[in-house]
A and B are shown apart, each in its own frame.
Chain A
Amino acid sequence: MNSEELRIGVFVCDCGLNIAGSVDTEKVRESAEKLDGVVVSVRNKYTCADPGQEEIKRCIREYSLNRVVVASCTPRMHESTFRNCVAQAGLNPYLFEMASIREHCSWVHLHDREAATDKAKDIVKIAVSRARLLQPQEETKIPITDKALVIGGGVAGIQAALDLADAGHQVYLVEKAASVGGIMAQLDKTFPTMDCSICVLGPKMMDVGRHHQITLMTYSQIEAISGYVGNFTVRVRKKARYVDETVCNSCGRCAEVCPVVVPDEFQQGFSSRKAAYIPFPQAVPSSYLIDMEHCLGNSPITCGKCVDVCEKDCIDLNMQDELVDIDVGVIIVATGMDVYDPTALDEYGYTRFENVIATMEFERLICGGGPTEGKLVRPSDYQVPKRIGFIQCVGSRTEDKGYPYCSNVCCMNTIKDSLLINEHYPDTEVFVFYMDIRAYGKGFEDLYRRSKEEGVHYIRGLPGEVIEDPDTKNLIIRVENTTTCLVEEHELDMVVLSVGLKPSDDLKHLTGIINISQTADGFVMEAHPKLRPVDAPTPGIFFAGSVEAPKDIKDSVTQAGAAVARASILLNSGTVHGDAVKAVIDPEKCPSCGLCARVCPFGAIEVDVKAKTGARVIAAACAGCGACAAECRFEAITIQHFLDDQILAQINAALEEEPEKKIITFLCNWCSYAASDMAGISRMQYPPNNRFIRVMCSGRVDEHFILHAFKLGAPIVLLSGCHIGDCHYSSANHWTMKRADRLWNRMEKLGIRPERLQLEWISAAEGPRFAKIMHDIEDLRQKVTQEEIERTKEVLAVEKLTHLGSIEEPSVAS
């Protein structure tokens, strides 16, 4: 389409005062009106609201618009909103472009209205330059596998699996432990209702074990996940139990004869189990297994007694791990959290004093199914303690030893425990040492009040240390009561450390094989903290329970229901719209060298190097990262909706005026762009010289984009993407790193300082780091002289700007 046929409408949003407060939106509108191809430029109070969208539709009809640009918030917020809007008016949704003048401008330049307005004009100009070259695209409809994977068999995972199965979907529930149940199975009572934890959970555990729509895979681990929304392939390692769980009738004869005794993890080491064991009486599946780490029976000559006595003949000491591949359409991650280990807090004597215990140990001691059958005794002399102290916030709300966040459940758990002690041992005094009591949920304050009314002493102040009397094994606590401002000393029989919760150690393993990111606190990052709180940024993946943040049982179950609702939308729809961003190969230009096939992280390109028949893209498998196009030395590959010409036009527009003041920054959609949004949302201020160009992956950024920017006078180019290992296109950013190395060498040879190309990996959670980098890069920009820029322009004027390409694998580096 030539420029005469272009009819672009630009809609500049005030966003109340969010944009108009620091950007002169009227000047931005006027500036947009003068751009080539723009036939109408409108300013709205709130473009995303109904009147704003109606105005867009009206203008499309009235002015026969064939391109629409909305200058407002981040496209990560409302791109789909506006795409739907223009589609309703009959325009192909891919003929829509968004200019982020809020997160990238008004919010990060709050105190320089003139500079912010100039930058906003540029941002709109860049968007319009891209819009001119947009082409209509058709999204593919991809069938969805009507099966779900739930990872984690705690209460959230159990609830999610049951809800999905009851809705008629086939579910695989994968749990790493030998039984489902998670942490809830170890608790005695639950707050605020004080009902028995396993009595509530047990029936649900049994339900998942026998539901005809649920395939339960315990003692299993996710090994690999490939594919995309609607069509994931998951490899599960079913670890050898050495007992056929489908045959075992839990008679327990194997455990009776087993000579090996080890501490029982379920009972927090307060009692023992055998190497042939069942995790706990209510375990599901109700089957024994062999702890091969401690078993003597690898050679039956050594032991093998369990095999001899098993009437069902279900023990096989030669059993091997099994790898199982399953196909699913959606994944719910419910891997929960871990409990903080207070060993590092030596001042509380957790490892030195027998009578200092932690929350989960207390839960087992007070539980009727625990090692003492519910008789609360202190470990040193098995006597009922008469004075018990709880120390709150152990490992929580601290930067030093632990985690800075509030763990959400510890206060209420201690209140519950204090009432349990009062109920069973009315003569025992309970002291709670705290900094704040957080009792915010339904029924929580009532429970707190009841605890105080029953005589539990709440002392506002955290002790600095715990000292043991070596004769009595009693514990001495000295604490400043900040309510009375008096220093108090308490002699206690037992101290319970109310430990916080931390991200599951398993999450690290999972983030390595699935496209999910972690926020700064180590829990998973949602697609949007308010509007999509159970969605992962990667389509088709959802979160339930404490994997997202510390939660109590009620919130975990609620979130599981929400995740199921979101997952069901996909499963029930039967098809998913495949993004139109795909690689397309020009057979005329392709010499069948095979490099693109080796670059592709998804195996989405087929090529017969010997037959020279040209490379072919498997559209369903192509994720659209663009690494193939950036590496192709023959310019044979284009990426739909992210064409070379579109990106070059954006660079041209950004550097049209005063290029020496501009920094061209390429942001990958998933991480560094999200980080820029986070910096904006957090109102982190940085210099206004950056001009951002969004690509789906840093792997898409071709060498000649960068050289083109330098040729036009850019002093600095910043290339940014996901951290290595976190790339949303698997390993596509390995090629970014390789390309940067190649470019630095090439720049040096051309007499261009390599320092002018910067590379940064920025996760979506690193808003503060993003802002700092913007400051650092601006410092670098100021050191680039005009003479240096001119010399570069002269050199590149005669240099062919295509890239050198490579047939090597990505380099190894540290």
Chain B
Amino acid sequence: MEESLKCLRCGHEYKISADPKRKVMERVCPRCKSNSVRKIPLKK
């Protein structure tokens, strides 16, 4: 399963593999290093 993320600082969009059991991790934009990374909700 993948999660879509979008950096709200630089606009970079990327995906990561999601594991609901994994401990809470810090989100960091791989491009600009901002933490303003939004998890894009799945469209219903």
Where the two chains meet, the residues of A that have a C-beta atom closer than 8 Å to any C-beta of B are: 723-725, 731, 734, 737, 740-741, 744-745, 754-755, 757-761, 776, 780, 810-814
Contacts and interface: CB of A to CB of B under 8 A. Distances in A.
Contacts of A758: 8-9, 34, 36
A241 B12 CA distance: 52
Contacts of A725: 26
A724 B26 contact: yes
A812 B36 contact: no
Contacts of B21: 812
Given A812-B23, A813-B25, A814-B16, A759 B35 contact: yes
A760 B35 contact: yes
B27 interface: yes
A724 B36 contact: no
15 contacts: A725-B26, A741-B39, A745-B41, A754-B8, A759-B37, A760-B34, A761-B26, A761-B35, A812-B18, A812-B21, A812-B25, A813-B39, A814-B3, A814-B22, A814-B27
Contacts of B36: 755, 757-760
B3 A813 contact: yes
A91 to B, nearest CB: 40
B30 to A, nearest CB: 10
Identify the 7 closest CB pairs spanning chains A and B, nearest first. A724-B26, A755-B8, A758-B36, A814-B25, A814-B16, A734-B24, A744-B38
Contacts of B3: 813-814
A633 to B, nearest CB: 20
B39 A811 contact: yes
Contacts of A723: 26
B24 A780 contact: no
A744 B25 contact: no
A744 B7 CA distance: 12
B9 A811 contact: no
Contacts of B22: 812, 814
Contacts of B26: 723-725, 761
B7 to A, nearest CB: 9
A813 B2 CA distance: 11
Contacts of A776: 9, 34
Nearest to B16: A814
Given A813-B27, A813-B39, 5 more contacts: A723-B26, A741-B39, A760-B36, A812-B18, A814-B3
B34 to A, nearest CB: 7
Contacts of B8: 744, 754-755, 757-759
Interface residues of B, number: 22
Contacts, number: 63
Contacts of B39: 741, 811, 813
Between B19, B20, B21, B26, the greatest number of chain A beta carbons within 10 A of the residue's beta carbon is seen for B26
Contacts of B27: 737, 813-814
B26 to A, nearest CB: 4
A723 B19 CA distance: 21
Contacts of A731: 24
A723 B24 CA distance: 11
A399 to B, nearest CB: 19
Most central of A725, A810, A814 by chain B CB within 10 Å: A814
Nearest to A773: B34
B3 to A, nearest CB: 7
A758 B9 CA distance: 8
Contacts of A724: 24-26
A535 B34 CA distance: 31
Contacts of A740: 38
B24 A737 contact: yes
A724 B27 CA distance: 9
Contacts of A759: 8, 35-37
A753 B22 CA distance: 30
Given A723-B26, A731-B24, A813-B27, A754 B38 contact: yes
Contacts of B23: 812
B9 A780 contact: yes
Nearest to A741: B39
B35 A813 contact: no
Nearest to A726: B26
B38 A741 contact: yes
Contacts of A812: 18-25
Contacts of A813: 3, 5, 16, 18, 24-25, 27, 37, 39
A290 B41 CA distance: 54
B6 to A, nearest CB: 8
Contacts of A814: 3, 16, 22, 25, 27
Contacts of A811: 24, 39
Contacts of B38: 740-741, 744, 754
Nearest to B22: A812
A431 B7 CA distance: 55
Contacts of A761: 26, 35
A760 B27 CA distance: 10
Contacts of B25: 724, 812-814
Contacts of B35: 759-761
B31 to A, nearest CB: 13
Contacts of A737: 24, 27
A761 B9 CA distance: 14
A792 to B, nearest CB: 16
Nearest to A724: B26
Contacts of A741: 38-39
A451 to B, nearest CB: 47
Contacts of B34: 758, 760, 776
A813 to B, nearest CB: 5
A557 to B, nearest CB: 38
Contacts of A744: 8, 38
